[in-house]
Amino acid sequence: MTESKVPLVKLARHETYYNYWVKEQERIPVAKGYYIEDLREIPVEPWKRKGGKGSYINLEGAEGFNDAYVAEIPPGGSLNPERHLFEEFIFVVAGRGASTIWQPNGQKQTFEWQEGSLFSPPLNTWHQEFNGSGDKPARYMAVTLAPIVLNIYRNHDFVFNSDYVFRERYSGETDFFSAKGRSAPGRIWESNFVPDTRAFKLQEWKERGAGGSNIEFEIANNSMVTHISEFPVGTYKKGHRHGPGAHVVLLNGTGYSLLWPEGAPRKKVDWHNFSMFVPPNQWFHQHFNTGKDPARYLALRLGGRLGGAKGPNASSQSIKLGGNQIEYEDEDREVRRLFRQECGKHGAEYKMQKFFPGD
C-alpha cells in the first residue's frame, strides 16, 4: 500500500495549498497583475523540479482557477521527465525542439515543435521536452489546472507521483500526435498537435462582430479547451464576459483590449505579439485592432464539450436576451470614440462604418 510522503501542512489564514507549494517548494519567480507585456521577456530563474529555468504566472483573472508558467530549456538541453494529475496546454513561445510522451511500460513517441506550436501531454503521461537548438534557448508557456488539483489533494507527492494510467485519454496510439485531425460541428477541430497556431485556417464567426473568424480546439481528450480568433485591421469585436481563467495570448497584430466589471471604469491593456492577459471573472472585455495586420489571439481555458459546456454559448448572446454580449448598438459611444482616436494615433484606417450605418 502506497502512503503519503508529505507531512500535513498547517496553512496560514486565507492561504491555499497551491500558493504554499509555489512559494515553499517551487521557489521560482511569480508574475502577477492583469497583464504580461511579452512572454518572451519574463525573467526566469533555475527551476530544480523541471531541470531548466522558469517563472510562474498568476494573473488576477485566473483567480486560483488555473495558472500559467514559462519554462526555458537551455541550448542543446532538456527538461526533466515528469507526469502529473492536472491537465496542461503547452504553447511554444520561442525556439524549436521535441517532446517525448510515454505510458509506463509503453512505447515512447516523439514529435517536433516550433515557435507557435500547441499541444498537451495527455493526463498523467510521462513527458519530456528537448531543445533542438545548440546555441539558443527554447521557451514555452503552459496553462494548467494545477491550482484546482493541488488544492483538492493538498499533497504534491501524490499529484506528481501517481502511477494511475488514464488509458481512455491516451493508450499509445501511434498516430496520436501525427494524425491530421478532424472537424466537428460548431467551429471545433479535434486534434492532439497544432504545428503552427499562427497559420491554422479559421472559420467565419459573425456573432462576435468585426468580420472575424474563429476555431476551437479539443486536444488530448482534455476538459480544458483553447480557441483562436482573428479580426481585421481597423475593426473591433463586441464586448462580452465569461468565467475566470481564459489566458489570452496575442499571436499576431497590434492593438488593445478594454476590461471592466459592470458599472465600473474600463481598464485599457495595450498588446502586441506574445502579450498575454486574463479577463477577471464576469468582467466585460473587448478587443481592438489598431495595427497594420489582422489581429489573431489564442485563448486557453476550461470549457467546451468535454469540460461540461452545454447548449448555446451565452457569451455570444445579447445581454438583452439574458446572455453576456454587448451588441454594437448597445455599447457606450465612448468605446467607438476612443477607437477612432487610437486608429488615428497608430495610422490605422477606421473600418467600423459598415457596422454603424450613418457613422
> For 63, phi and psi rounded to 5 degrees?
55, 35
pLDDT at 315: 77
How far is Cα 216 from Cα 263, in angstroms, rounded to an integer? 31
pLDDT at 312: 43
What's this model's pTM, rounded to 2 decimal places? 0.95
pLDDT at 311: 42
Whether 248 is in a domain gets the answer: yes
Whether 176 is in a domain gets the answer: no
Residues 202 and 262 both lie in one domain: yes
Residues 298 and 332 both lie in one domain: yes
Count how many domains the chain has: 2
Whether 171 is in a domain gets the answer: no
Residues 298 and 206 both lie in one domain: yes
Residues 200 and 60 both lie in one domain: no
Whether 66 is in a domain gets the answer: yes
Residues 118 and 219 both lie in one domain: no
Mean pLDDT split into 10-residue runs, the chain, 359 residues: 74 90 97 97 98 98 96 98 98 98 94 98 98 98 98 97 96 92 92 97 93 95 96 97 96 98 97 98 97 97 63 74 95 96 96 84
Residues 66 and 205 both lie in one domain: no
Whether 8 is in a domain gets the answer: no
Whether 166 is in a domain gets the answer: no
Grid coordinates belonging to 121: 501531454
Residues 60 and 138 both lie in one domain: yes
Residues 324 and 191 both lie in one domain: yes
pLDDT at 189: 95
pLDDT at 12: 82
Q: What is the 3-state secondary structure (H, E, C) of 112-156?
A: EEECCCEECCCCCCEEEEEECCCCCCEEEEEEECHHHHHHHHCCH
Identify the sign of the CA torsion 149, 128, 122, 242: positive
Residues 274 and 344 both lie in one domain: yes
Residues 96 and 210 both lie in one domain: no
Sheet holding 96-102, edge to edge: 109-114, 96-102, 126-131
Whether 5 is in a domain gets the answer: no
Residues 243 and 331 both lie in one domain: yes
How far is the first Cα of the chain from the last one, in angstroms, to the nearest whole number?
72
Q: Which domain holds residue 282?
A: 182-355
Exposure string for 213-222, b = 16+ CB within 10 A, e = fewer:
bbbbbbbbbb
How far is Cα 220 from Cα 230, in angstroms, rounded to an integer? 24
pLDDT at 314: 62
Residues 142 and 202 both lie in one domain: no
Residue 134 is part of a domain; what is its CATH number?
Answer: 2.60.120.10
Distances (CA, A) of 85 to 160, 221, 304: 7, 14, 20
pLDDT at 6: 76
Residue where one domain finishes, among candidates 131, 161, 191: 161
Whether 255 is in a domain gets the answer: yes
